[in-house]
Structures are given as structure tokens and as C-alpha cells.
Structure 1
Amino acid sequence: MKKLMNGADTILAESLAGFAAAHADIVVLDPSGKFIRRKDIISGKVALISGGGSGHEPLHAGFVGMGMLDAACPGQVFTSPTPDQMLEAAQAVDGGAGVLFIVKNYEGDVMNFDMAAEMLKDMAGIAVMQLITNDDIAVEDSLFTTGRRGVAGTLVVERIVGAAAEKGMSLADLMALGERVNRQSKSFGVALTSCTVPAAGKPTFDLGPGDMEFGVGIHGEPGRRRAALASADEIAAEICEGIAKEFGDVRGRNALLFVNGFGGTPLMELYVMHNSARRIFERHGIEIARSLTGSYVTSLDMAGCSITLTLLDDDMLSLWDAPVHTAALRWGA
């Protein structure tokens, strides 16, 4: 194992310190090291908080800032954050309009955010709602979930709901919007290699040089099947046809195409996949109105990618285009 680190036991703390120093104009690392928050706390605005195990950077800390999250709670690598992290983050960024937790559908994350929500209501009297993302169509149940996993579509939810929160939308309306974005987002991933967790020092699973894993999760969970490595067009066809089948007839609809790298795939290859996916979806009559390509929801050093398609209505399209300024995503003002 070759990694740029001082030790497996300090890598998260040192990474968070470096992240906060590099983006000190946008974020602040809590002195306890339990969460990253926006530098500016907005009074009267619903606070958006997400989190999960580290190793998926820039998710979630990289999306803290104007137009997205107010705070992010990182756990150890591939390990859920603890309820006290979410509780303290919520109290730090509460603007008086309530808190929305955005939670990927993994059992540890859901359980700990549930506990934090109860503590927040009982101890601080703060209104809180929880939005669960479950956009992964690859498997219904996995090692860590009951039902579908929350994967790259979580970014789309955080972006669109974050823009609406910036405009002053109420907690209940943000919850309804987030549920709509989640329903209209479908994702599917393929791995060409495993990832290596620093504390383990070896790949999470074995994958031969001529193999790939279809439907892999973002923690190295097994997918729906193993297959011989194929061309980009063939890989995209299986993924995109599966997504199109989930949606049914959506001819004439606008959509966001998000091709996400898992951390070990060059942009050149991700754009090849974008080109293949775009052509397939356009054959289904889907208008690709917006695109995002890059490594945003990663799995350490895993090679591979996921494809997410989000059907956009006019409100969602406008919110996607609204200004955003975070470490990893920024456009507009």
C-alpha cells in the first residue's frame, strides 16, 4: 500500500485540518474536529447538514458553503459519524428556521442521524427533519442497507435543496423538494479496481485485471455481478439502459447527466463515459439540459465511475443554475 499519510490513525484529522486551512475563506473546522461548517451563519435560514464516513471526498465537506450545505460531519473512513457530531453541528449553524439532515441510506448513518434528531428536538427544541437519499438502482439490499443505497445522487439533492434554502424556503418545503429530487434521480456504478482503506492496508475485494464489478457501492460493497472488462460504450449501455428502464417513458424531459469518478479514474475516461451515456439517453428522447463530470462522490482510490440521471422540472433547473460557492462546486456570483 502506498499512500500520502503519516499514519492511519491520524489521516482524517490531518486531512480535515488541511482542508479547512486551504478553504478558510469558505469554511471553519470546529475546534473539536467533529464537523466542518460554513464561515458565515445565516439568520432565518434553514440549516442543511449532511455527513457520513470519510473516503468519499469531496462529499460532504467539499459541498459546505453558499448554495449547498451549512455543515458536514465526517466519520472515520467508511464509518458513520456519531450522533454528538450532528447535534453539535446543528447547534452551531442553527439560524432559527430549523434543520434539515440529508442522510445517505446506510444503516449506520440513518440510525445515528435518527438519534441526533431526537437529541436536537429534546435538548435544544430545534425543529428538524430528515431526508433519506436512495438513488442507487443496482441492488435493493446490500451489506449496509435495507433498501437502495444513497450514492452520487446525494450531491444533486444537496445542490438543489441548498439553493432553495439559500432563497429562504421553509423546512417543510425543502423536505418536499428534496424528496422530489431524490425520486427523480437514479444512479448505477461500475468498479474497475477495489479501493484500499488505510487502516486495512490491502484492497477491500479482489478483482482480476480483466474483470469489472457492476453495481458496486461507494464502500467497496459487491455489486450485482462480475463481468469481463468491456468497452466504454458497452459499459454505458448496460448502465444507461437500466436507468432508462427505471424511469419508463420520459421522452421530451430535461435531465441532468452526472458522470462521477470513484477517485482513481482520469477525467479523460470520465468524459468518454459522458459521451457514451449522453448518446444513449438522447436515443431515449431525453434532453440533457445540464451536465456534471468529475470525481465528486468517491471511494478512496477505486477506479470506475457511476452515472446519475436526474429528471429536471423548471424549478429544479433554475435552482441547479443558482449561484453556488463551495470548495468543490462553484459557479455564478
Structure 2
Amino acid sequence: MNATTTRGALLAALACVLVGGSFTANSVLGDYPYAGGQFLRYALAFLLLVPLAGPGATARLRALGAGRWLRLALLAAVGMVGFNLAVLAAERTAEPAVPGVFVGCAPVVVAVVVPLMDGRRPQRVVLYGALLVAVGAFTVQGWGRTDAAGIAFSVCALAGEVGFAVLAVPVLRPLGPRLLSATVCGVAAVESAAVGVLADGDAWLPRPDAVEAGALLWQAAVVTVVGFVCWYMGMQRIGAERATLFSGLIPVAAACSAPLVGTGEYGAAQAVGSALVCAGVAAGSGASLRLRRRTAGAVPPGHGTGAGGSKTSSRRQVALDPSSERR
């Protein structure tokens, strides 16, 4: 695995771990209006991201056509505002594990949808890794009580998670991770305000108390600013298919952090599920294959010292690890 791929994998993993660890912050916002909370989160994140957008940001935004602006609006509506609303709606009649299981299937959907959008076949290794990640996510969370409405909203949450990755692909290159994050946060803030006014009227934006303000600040500054930029930087390096594999780390991070705040336990099922997720990520991202190739291409001490021995081993290493040519 070369330096670019390694950095992309680490960035995607960090983003998903931050999201998984943020569930504690979500638990203290149950009484705060949904749309108002989303507005504060994304508006603050937008203000923090604007100085990081880089030079020429205005020119790059002006160069976007109407189609790409529509895509950005859909990305914010489906992958951010709609996703969070779907999860909250699902949890009204279903246990939290139910939407979590559906969202855990996002790597499988992305592994199929993205290649088809590019006019190519899905990669088997990525698809198999995604299936393993989905099974691991299910094992970590289990299954809970639900009804038809809970399942329907959970499917909507899955669509939102997929849309957050797929809709960003055509606009990631012209905007870059930081400007893309800032733009979708600004759009999501406007959409959240519109939803709040329509749904809650004058009560859509009450003053948060100290605990709620701390949770919103954490979501804006850490989960959104750091998490979004890391996610899109990772996706830029390794692609949407492999980056979405790391979303399996969201329930793993949530399960690991739950005992720290007394909201859950980490038992045998969580340990097995975490191992399955890690195995799926390693297989789908190609890390395990590269490791096997490097091991097979290693020359034991004392070998290859004969005439032409070093040249033979060098050619063999290049053949087994194509990335070595790029180094």
C-alpha cells in the first residue's frame, strides 16, 4: 500500500470513528428541535470551514454549472439533513440498532452503484469486503424491535448514507475536500432553516442550554469540520467504493465508546463484529492482498547473492507489487 493509499485509508477511518463516537452527543439533543439543531451545527461548521476553503474558492464555485449546484443541493438534502431526519424518525418506532443495520449495508450498495455509474463492473474484492463489513456491522449492533415505519425510514437512512458518498463524486475534484465540505454545510444550514420554519414555526430555534450547546459545538467543530474534510480527503485518494468500506467502523466506534459513558457494554458479539468489519475493510481495500504479495516477494537472508541474484529479486518484487514502480 503506497503512501497516498495509506493516508486515504487513515483519513476515511478517522472520519468514521469520529461519527461513531458522536452518538453520545446525539443522545443529549433528544429534546432540542431537530431542524434547529441541524441549522446550528451546519451553520457553525460553515463559518469554521470558510477560512480553510483555499484560494480561488469563489472562482471555482462560479465555474460550477446548474447541474452541479443541483447535485450539491441533493447531497446536502439527502446525505446530511435527510439522513439525520430519517434516523430520528426510524428510532421513534424502532430500536437504534435497526437503522444502524441498514446503514451498515451502505458499502455493499456503493460497491455496486459507483462502478455502474462509471460504466464498469463492480470489483469482486471490494464487493466481498463490503459484504463482510455489513455482516460485521450487523453482528456489532444486533437486531431490535421495529415495525413497517421503522424499516421504511431505515431504508431512507441507507439511501442518505449512500447519497453522501455517491453524489459527491463528480464535484469532489473541481471543489476539493475543504471547499466541498464548506459548501454543502452552507447549503445544509439553509435547508435545515427552511425545514425548521415549516415544521416548528417560531419555536424552531430555541436557546440551547449548556449541555446542548456543548454537544452542538462538538458536532460542528469535530464531527462535521474535521470529519467531513477527512472523509472527502480520504475519498479523493482511494475512491468512493473503498472509502465507504470504512463506514463499518461507525458502529464499532459507537460500541467501543458506549461503555466509557455508561450507555452500553462491549461483549463477545461486539468483539466478533469488530473483527469482521476490520477483516472486510482489509480485504476490500486491498491491504491484505498487498501484504501477501510483499511477503511472497521478500527474499530470505543469504539468498539472491549469486550472479544476477539481486536483479532477479528486484524484478520479482516489481512484478508482485506494481506500486513499487511508482515509488
TM-score interval w.r.t. the shorter chain?
under 0.3
Q: Normalising by structure 2, report the TM-score.
A: 0.25
Q: Normalising by structure 1, report the TM-score.
A: 0.24
Higher helix share: 2
Larger Rg: 2
Higher strand share: 1
